[in-house]
Chains A and B, each alone.
Chain A
Amino acid sequence: MIVAIIVGLLAAGGVYLVLQREMLRIALGFALLSHAVNVLLVAAGGTGRRDQPLDGAVDPQTTADPLPQAFVLTAIVIAFAITVYMLALSVVGRRDDDTRDLSDAARSEVVASDDPLDVAEIARAYGAAAPEIHKEPTP
């Protein structure tokens, strides 16, 4: 019961965060969602039996199910890899980790900037549609 509430809390927090704009928040949201799923997996083995599956203490009546634990151990490490990758994504933006959509207004704002990186980026993404963007400033 308590474990179910914990899963719910973690899921709710994770969902809220991944729907935000900043990549860092999205990455943290994914971390919370991974926690939720991992706890759920361990719970699937049952929370009534809590003895460590170690040292030959093999009373199936009291020992925790080792199979979900092995799954979760793998899942934690993979989730770590995903988190690190998303964190790397958060520091390759233009100025910060905002992930807003390039709506027309935002695009014209970016094009108007004198940041050559922005201009190059927009030119790559919208090459044919926006010819004036091709005028890259020469150093």
Chain B
Amino acid sequence: MLPVLLGLVVLLALAAPLLGRVMGREAGWPLAAGLAALAAWVGLAPPPEGTTWSVPWIPGIDVALRLRADGLGVLFLVLVLGVGALVLAYSARYLARGPHPGFYGLMTGFAAAMTLLVLTDDLIVLFVAWEMTTLCSFFLISRTGPQAHAPAVRTLLVTVGGGLCLLGAVIAVAVRTGTTQLHAALQHEAWQSDPAFAGAVAALVAVAAFTKAAQFPFHAWLPDAMVAPTPVSAYLHAAAMVKAGIYLLLRFSAALADVPVWTVLLVGIGLLTSVMGAVFALQRNDLKELLAYSTVSQLGLIVATIGIGTPEALAAASVHTLAHALFKSAAFMVVGILDHSTGTRDVRLLGGVGRAMPWTSVILVLSAASMAGLPPLAGFVSKEAILASFVEAPTPAGTALAVVVAVGAVFTFAYCARMVLRTLPGTASADIPRKPHEEGPGLLVPALLPALAGVVIGLAAWSLDDLAATAASAAAGEETHPHLALWHGLTVALALSMGVWVLGGLLAWKAARVERALDRRLFPITGVQAVAAWQRGTIALGVRVGDLTRSDAPARHLAVPFVGTVVIAAVALGSVGGLGPSLTHVEGTDWLLLAVVAAGVATVVRARSRLGAVVTVGIVGFGVALLFFTLGAADVALTQLLVEVLTVVVIVLLLRRLPRTFARPSRGRAAGAGVLAVVTGLVAAAGTWALTGRREMSPAGRYFLENVYADTGGTNVVNTILVDYRALDTLGELTVLGLTGLVIAVLLDATRILPTKEDAEPRLIRTGPLADPGPNGVFTRATSRLFAPVMVLVSLWFLLRGHNAPGGGFIAALVAASGFALAYLAAAGDADRSKVAFRLVGSGIGIAVLTGLAGLADGSFLRPLHADVLGVHLTSAVVFDVGVYLAVIGVVVAALDLLGSEPPPRRTAPPPRPAAPRPAPAQPEPVAPGKESA
């Protein structure tokens, strides 16, 4: 039954946007009928206690979509579905005509989220459902209009903050008890044996619930959220959002009722909120705001009652939750009706509308009387039960606390009276914007039903005994049998109630004086201001923190990781010990290469000329390539060599756009950079010496060496690692390369490449016989005509043999790209090649991905396929390598082309300075491609 139930609610939620679009506001009827049918199903034939159902979700951490039915869940489920049905039916007449896909989708989605929340038996799913209700309420509030954005964001911040607390609690419980199954976790012995754990979880759960149930100091969002339309408010207040907080407290009560932190927090904050909310409600003139503070106050009462923790108290809290849902949904809907009919919700403008709106008056009186706790209504029964549970609480202060409850009730009585007396009796006020008239049954019936239900429940209180008993038993974790009745005899609770009526009546009688007395600020700041100030403060703090790194100068950012490296080394110095014997050995060529690298580094650091720096870095690169070769890494050495060549080619294309020399660094920069460089270098050398070369070959490396032929049919181990064993890494790398080409294209398209410097070409060339770039390049061009095709052929040879000998896609591509570079440098003009380049990149990555997909035929993405055709061993890894080949060539060609071409003329600038005098080129030179080709 449980999955069917949840599935049906979800189905409704999915259908709702469609219905809202097709049927407009009338979609409220079928949706209400659906929810009402489900509510009736659950209410009349509740699932047997302890029914469970489960499907695994994240088995690795024992998370499953577990559902479990018990009395508490059923009570809330009936509320969620029943009130949801009423509110949706009401919306069908309250909303304007026209499509409402978002509203209906979110409202039924809200119902689905609440259904999951109260049914789930999994801690993680509980948290997810909790956050879903947060998001639903955020969207419902924020979609009201621009004025609702700030309140919606405040609501979100407060409730998400609470959600984080719940996440903390959920994880703590799951880790400590070793299960994510909610009811099992709540029965764990750790709650008794580990008071620190129980206390921490109690505080976290309490704060989470306080944010949701709008308890002090998180109460501000609820009145703030009044910008949402009335049906949303009615649902939020009566059954959905705030009741999620109450549900959470009741659910965890089984484990936490005896934890002192829990009791103190719940009773203290709950009573404070109860009295405070009631006073604020009495202060308000807008009926909706009044009801909002009334919700704050009533929820405070329920929270405090849960804090008492006895089975009787939990039963009373459950019943009051039900009673509150009934009178509060009726009250909100009736305020909506008043608003709809008269055009105002301000009690100072309203007055004497009773005669024109008899049915509305009935609903208002019934809901207000239930809220005030007058017999024979549901509110009286539940409030009596609450007072009794306080009086009978096993604490010496029980009766005193009951008196505090009564104080709150006095103000509650007063604002309820004010709601009725200021609006209904007498002759119609002249201030009402529109002439009051009775609304149709479409609005009245959904509001009347919960009001009448309050009467029925009040008169037949015993009918709730079973529901309250199962709910309270589930919450308390022990059997309990409350007896609800209008008349319990002459009890302390009844005496308190009578005192409340007398004092409340007095306040209502002296309403004018009370109003004057309260017409002022009671606190220096409002809750909304506090939340807004906190929000502003957080943003200001973020700006302050961000300022630390807000600099365009790269050095400031780049120095951080080096300093961090040094710090790590300093820490390691004290803790690393017991190094094994070094297995390294030194060969004569090592000394030579050390000399090459040292000379190169020394020169490049001191170089003032850009060209000089580039050349020496190239020398260092060749030295490193040779080092790789002597260390037994032929493929790496080849790659390094080719990369050095291409890097130098690319730099040469750029050098003519930059000044010849570097600026002299300031003394401070040189000194700072020098010190950091020397220290980092020492750390790097020491780390390399200490942490490498002290063990035998890694098991992975040994495996590759021993099994390479059997696994892949190749003998070049490094290449097979790239295309067979770890092809996914290679695919990712290809994508990075391809993106680089794209990013450069975008960068040059968005900004402007610097023009070639006038003084970049030596005077000799500008004036002498070699000035013409056509004849000038004859020799290179002739050479390149010969060599470029050869290089491309050689690259294909490298590509095909890569599986068994040095070579492979990368190396082959770099060889071919060198060929292209040669042809490029030799060409007299720029041709439009960029598109070809990007097609190469795209087809390369495409081929690699398709080859990978073909691997799915053998069970896994990127698994190479093998086949023997006519005695020749073929493998799809070679095809993958072709993809690598194409992509790398494409990127290099793109880079050459993008960085080599002249910038297009500026549009906003005066005519550009001619880049360099170029007398009649030998071949017609195409117009600078730059932007068009990019």
Contacts and interface: CB of A to CB of B under 8 A. Distances in A.
Interface string B530-574: 000000000000000000000111111011001000000000000
A11 B566 CA distance: 12
Interface string A109-139: 0000000110010000000000000001101
A42 B631 contact: yes
A47 B631 contact: yes
Contacts of A85: 740, 743-744
Given A17-B604, A93-B754, A117-B752, A87 B716 contact: no
Interface stretch (B91-99, B718-726, B778-786): B718-726
Contact of A53 (B552, B698, B705): B705
Given A10-B620, A15-B677, A24-B610, A101 B552 contact: yes
B718 to A, nearest CB: 5
A60 B697 contact: yes
Interface string A46-61: 1111111111101010
Interface in A70-120: 70, 72-74, 76-85, 87-93, 95-102, 116-117, 120
A40 B565 CA distance: 15
A3 B786 CA distance: 40
Given A24-B658, A87-B650, A91-B899, A101 B553 contact: yes
B650 A84 contact: yes
Contact of A54 (B736, B752, B805): B805
Contacts of B899: 87-88, 91
A19 B718 contact: no
A110 to B, nearest CB: 12
B844 to A, nearest CB: 13
Contacts of B733: 74, 77-78
A88 B636 contact: no
Contacts of A25: 613, 662
B869 interface: no
Contacts of B643: 76-77, 79-80
Contacts of B683: 11
Interface footprint category on B = 35 or more
A46 B737 CA distance: 29
A8 B751 CA distance: 37
A28 B609 CA distance: 13
Nearest to B894: A84
A10 B906 CA distance: 41
B898 interface: yes
Contact of B718 (A48, A66, A82): A66
Given A21-B663, A54-B716, A139-B909, A64 B633 contact: yes
B711 interface: no
A90 B658 contact: yes
Interface stretch (B198-206, B282-290, B351-359, B667-675): B667-675
Contact of B663 (A22, A42, A89, A120): A22
B908 A40 contact: no
A89 to B, nearest CB: 7
B590 interface: yes
A46 B621 CA distance: 21
Contacts of A90: 654, 658
B673 A16 contact: yes
Nearest to B707: A58
Contacts of B646: 80
A6 B597 contact: yes
Given A16-B605, A60-B706, A73-B635, A22 B701 contact: no
A28 B753 contact: no
13 contacts: A4-B685, A9-B594, A9-B598, A9-B681, A13-B677, A19-B555, A19-B559, A48-B583, A60-B705, A67-B704, A73-B722, A77-B888, A87-B654
Closest 7 CB pairs of A and B: A12-B681, A8-B685, A64-B632, A13-B601, A16-B677, A19-B673, A11-B684
Given A19-B672, A21-B663, 20 more contacts: A3-B590, A13-B677, A20-B673, A22-B662, A22-B663, A24-B613, A31-B617, A31-B647, A43-B693, A53-B705, A55-B715, A67-B704, A70-B726, A76-B636, A88-B899, A98-B663, A99-B554, A101-B553, A101-B556, A116-B906
